[in-house]
Amino acid sequence: MAGIEDVARLAGVSASTASRALNGHPRISAETVRRVAEAAQTLGYVASSSAYTLATGRNRNIGVVLPYVERWYFGTVLAGIDSRLMQAGYDLSLYNFNGSSEQRASVFTDFLLRRRVDALITVAVKLEAGELDVLHRLGKPVLAVGGPVPGASTLRIDDFGAAKLATLHLLSLGHSRIALIGGDAASEMDFRQPETRHGGYLEAMADHGIDVPDSWFFPADFTVGGGYAAAKTALSDPRLSFTALFAASDEMAIGAVLAARDLGMRVPEDVSIVGIDGHDLSEFFGLTTVAQAPRDQGARAADLILEALSGGEAAEATDTVWPIELVVRSTTTRNHGA
């Protein structure tokens, strides 16, 4: 593989001049720039990233930390991040917990310390104190998508408001017996969303003077399967006779729709269902949801982190709130049983 010495020789200059020409330094003659660029072109020269990094301290590489790549939300945010990063010539290192706490630990005790990345984007992870310490010691910009993370910049939707909005939608349709399908213990550990959305639901109910017993909460793991099981439990209990279900994610809401159908219930005539996310599939299920735009959020996240990298090092931590939108489709309707 051609090195910078080869390029320099072919262009008839020294290695340092070649380096300057390639990196767009100011005081290089136009003619030299042209010849060096041409030489690099013909030799197919691309600088070795490790040598570049060792010399400059810069990696041109961003780390993305998330718990489950294979899930729609995370994959979509990641796609958005990645597309912007590539455009900017940045590589992307993926740190996926795979739902494993050992892997999660190794990311912070080992992988991140290798200094392979210039900055970090975390997606919907609830960082522990020790993990935060690691990030601070690293001294690299951190952007938390689906935050907030204390001391780091964040890009997030108002999860509390989103849950409240979804619940208010059901309340405004005359429902009052509204079950919550929310995060279980395991997802509480991983993400920030479960408890915040839970809170939004409770506040909306309280605002309408509804006292919510613990028995109205059905924990699930944020998957279609989890939502299906939770909804089946919720809807089969004869003592509770819910007319509506609020699921803290679209995947759980879709599971709930399928569960209702399998129980012989009609949606929305017998039970109204609303979710949060704006999942690709929500349109096909006619799911009423509070939509966010994960792909666009990802792209924005990449822009923000690149700005932090180019701007002054000691930039303030920013908190960007991404807009959400209630999309009413056909899984919710007025409560006629009331």
Looking at the chain, list the stretches that DSSP marks H as alpha helix, in order from N- to C-terminal side: 4-11, 15-22, 30-43, 49-56, 72-87, 101-109, 129-138, 159-172, 185-190, 193-207, 224-236, 250-262, 294-310
Task: Provide, rounded to whole angstroms, the least separation between the CB of residue 10 and DNA.
Answer: 13
16 makes contact, choosing from DNA, its own copies, none, with CB < 5 to 8 Å by partner type, with DNA
Nearest distance from C-beta of residue 131 to DNA, angstroms: 22
Choose from its own copies, DNA, none: what does 116 bind? Cβ within 5-8 Å by kind.
its own copies
Two structure tokens written together for 252: 């759980």
Q: How far is the CB of 60 from its own copies (least distance, A)?
A: 8
Contact 253, 154 (CB under 8 A): no
Residue 24 beta carbon to DNA: minimum distance, rounded to whole angstroms: 10
Which spans of this chain sit near DNA (rule: CB under 7 A)?
Answer: 3-5, 12-17, 19-23, 26-29, 31-32, 45, 47-48, 51-52, 54-56
Query: Tokens standing for 198?
Result: 């839970």
Peptide bond into 141 cis (omega under 30): no
- Shortest Å distance, C-beta 92 to its own copies: 5
Closest approach, Cβ 41 to its own copies, in A, equals 11
Rounded least distance, CB 37 to DNA, Å:
12
From DNA, its own copies, none, interface partner of 26 (C-beta below 5 to 8 A by class): DNA
Q: How far is the CB of 324 from DNA (least distance, A)?
A: 42
Identify what 91 binds: DNA, its own copies, none; CB under 5 to 8 Å per kind.
Answer: its own copies
Q: Which does 78 bind (CB under 5 to 8 A by kind): DNA, its own copies, none?
A: its own copies
Closest CB to its own copies among residues 87, 172: 87
**Residue 111 site contact among DNA, its own copies, none (CB < 5 to 8 Å, cut-off depends on kind):** its own copies
Kindly list the distances between the CA atom of residue 186 and the CA atoms of 101, 122, 189, 202, in Å, as whole numbers in the listed order. Answer: 11, 18, 5, 21
Q: Which of 176, 130, 162, 189 is nearest to 292 (CA)?
A: 162
d(CA 264, CA 259): 9
Which 3 state secondary structure label does DSSP give 218? strand
Comparing CB distances to its own copies, the nearer of 48 and 318 is 48
Taking residue 251's Cβ as centre, other Cβ atoms within 10 Å add up to: 26
Our CB check for its own copies shows the closer of 46 and 315 to be 46
Cis peptide preceding 148, ω within 30 of 0: yes
Judged by beta carbon, residue 28 or residue 281, the one nearer DNA is: 28
Residues that bind its own copies (CB under 8 A): 1, 44, 46-51, 53-54, 59, 61, 68-72, 75-76, 78-79, 82-83, 86-87, 89, 91-96, 98, 100, 103, 106-107, 110-111, 113-116, 223-225, 228, 255, 258, 280-281, 283-285, 295
Neighbours of 128 (CB within 10 A): 13
Which is closer to its own copies, CB of 204 or CB of 257? 257
Centre a 10 Å sphere on the Cβ of residue 74 and count the other Cβ atoms it contains: 21
Which one of DNA, its own copies, none is in contact with 233 (Cβ closer than 5 to 8 A by kind)?
none
Radius of gyration for the chain, computed over Cα atoms and rounded to the nearest angstrom = 25
3 state SS of 86: helix
Residue 281 binds which entry of its own copies, DNA, none, CB below 5-8 Å type-dependent:
its own copies
Query: CA nearest 245: which of 211, 214, 268, 277?
Result: 268
